[in-house]
């Protein structure tokens, strides 16, 4: 049998799928997903291991932004394949000893899952055998209030995530849901948005010829709505 055939197949939910349900022990007590998070957006993110430098910077940054995410009706959940005792010791060290980019005395109040059995990590495809059989890669799953997977981001073990991008894509998806629009490349809150393309030639012609306040078209298939 070849080496490739020995590698365990990675299954993961796809965008638009129902997110896998789970019950887990965490630093904030037992949680049940999605039952405990009805009506909320959820960001579930994994990290390779406690007491590692990249993960420490990520957790400090996520913790410092927790109130910003809660204002967006969004809860954070962390995960690694470590024990609850390792999590607690690591988070205590972060609060008591680590200062990074002006952040200090940072307290991580969102739940961090103990996943020694790798049950949750496997459900979400966070284990990548070619990277490691014992550590979860840096995965980010964003679920909407209906517990549907809406966005998936994967990073290698060696490189930290951009938390501002996580927040930006969350804001973009929420705006798309609320206003039935799309967002262009590099969109930031407050910038112009895209009106969904027309479904027929007649509609396309009508769209280009019809004047609407705040609307402008680059061609029949690409029209924007001004945000300011």
- Higher pLDDT pick, 227 / 200: 227
Quick one: 53 and 127 in the same domain?
yes
- 173 part of a folded domain: no
Burial of residue 113 (CB within 10 Å: 0-12, 13-18, 19+) is: buried
145 and 191 housed in the same domain = no
Do 83 and 192 sit in the same domain of this protein? no
Is pLDDT above 90 for 57?
yes
Task: Please check whether residues 17 and 45 belong to one and the same domain.
Answer: yes
What region does 153 belong to: left with phi over 0, alpha with psi -120 to 50, or beta? beta
DSSP assignment of 35-72: GGGTTSEEEEEE-S-SS-HHHHHHHHHHHHTHHHHHHT
pLDDT score of 187? 98
Phi then psi dihedrals of residue 153, to 5 deg: -125, 135
Q: From CA 78, how far away is CA 98, in angstroms rounded? A: 19
Contact 41, 144 (CB under 8 A): yes
The 10 Å Cβ neighbour count of residue 126 is 27
Whole-number Å distance between alpha carbons of 213 and 10 = 49
Would you say 129 and 157 are in contact if contact means Cβ atoms under 8 Å apart? no
The residues carrying an active-site annotation are 55
The domain that contains 120 carries what CATH number? 3.40.30.10
* CATH number, residue 202: 3.30.1020.10
Whether residues 157 and 185 fall in one domain: no
Residues in the chain: 228
Task: Choose one of 134, 161, 188: the last residue of a domain.
Answer: 161
| Pair 108, 206 in one domain | no
Three-state SS for 11? coil
Give the model's confidence band at 1: pLDDT under 50 very low, under 70 low, under 90 confident, else very high: very low
The domain total for the chain is 2
pLDDT at 9: 59
- Of the two residues 116 and 197, the one the predictor is more confident about is 116
132 and 93 in a common domain: yes
Residue 161 assigned as binding residue: no
Preceding amide of 207 cis, omega within 30: no
Q: Is 175 part of any domain? A: no
Asked if 154 and 216 sit in the same domain, the reply is no
Statement to judge: residues 61 and 145 lie in one domain: yes
Q: What is the pLDDT of residue 136?
A: 80
State whether the Cα torsion 20-54-169-132 is positive or negative: negative
Phi/psi class of residue 68: alpha, beta or left (left: φ > 0; alpha: ψ in -120 to 50)?
alpha
- Asked whether residue 216 is domain-assigned, the answer is yes
Of 136 and 126, which is predicted with more confidence? 126
Residue 70, pLDDT score = 98
Range of the domain at 224: 180-228
Mean pLDDT, residues 121-149 taken together: 86
Q: Determine the pLDDT at residue 39.
A: 97
- 70 in the same domain as 25: yes
- Is 139 inside a domain boundary? yes
For the chain, what is the radius of gyration of the CA atoms? 21
* 195 pLDDT above the threshold of 80: yes
Residue 210 pLDDT: 75
d(C-alpha 137, C-alpha 112), whole Å: 15
Domain co-membership, 206 together with 116: no
168 part of a folded domain: no
**Which of 129, 161, 193 finishes a domain?**
161
Return the minimum-mean-pLDDT range out of 2-6, 21-25, 77-81, 177-181. Answer: 2-6
Is residue 32 situated within a structural domain?
Answer: yes
Residue 91 has pLDDT above 50, yes or no: yes
Q: Which of 64-68, 174-178, 215-219 has the lowest mean pLDDT?
A: 215-219
pLDDT greater at residue 115 or residue 198: 115
Residue 157 pLDDT: 84
177 or 212: whose pLDDT is higher? 177
Average pLDDT over residues 98-127: 94
> pLDDT value at position 40?
98
pLDDT band at 3 (very low <50, low <70, confident <90, very high): very low
- pLDDT value for 66: 98
Identify the domain boundary among 115, 133, 161: 161
């Amino acid at each position: 049998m070849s080496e490739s055939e020995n590698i365990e197949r990675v299954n993961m939910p796809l965008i638009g799928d129902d997110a896998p349900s789970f019950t887990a022990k965490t630093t904030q007590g037992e949680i049940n997903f999605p039952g405990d998070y009805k009506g909320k957006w959820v960001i579930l993110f994994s990290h390779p291991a406690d007491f590692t430098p990249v993960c420490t910077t990520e957790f400090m940054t996520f913790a410092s932004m927790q109130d910003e995410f809660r204002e967006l009706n969004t809860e954070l959940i962390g995960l690694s394949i470590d024990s609850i005792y390792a999590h607690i010791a690591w988070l205590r060290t972060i609060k008591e000893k680590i200062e990074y980019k002006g952040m200090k005395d940072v307290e991580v109040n969102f739940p961090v899952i103990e996943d020694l059995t790798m049950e949750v990590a496997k459900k979400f495809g966070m284990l990548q055998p070619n990277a490691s059989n014992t550590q979860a890669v840096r995965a980010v799953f964003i679920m909407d209030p209906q517990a549907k997977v809406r966005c998936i981001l994967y990073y290698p073990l060696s490189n930290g995530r951009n938390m501002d991008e996580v927040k930006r894509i969350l804001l973009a998806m929420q705006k798309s849901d609320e206003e039935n629009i799309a967002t262009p490349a590099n969109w930031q809150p407050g910038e112009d948005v895209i009106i969904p393309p027309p479904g027929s030639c007649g509609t396309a012609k009508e769209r280009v010829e019809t004047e609407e306040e705040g609307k402008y078209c680059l061609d029949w298939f690409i029209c924007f709505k001004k945000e300011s």
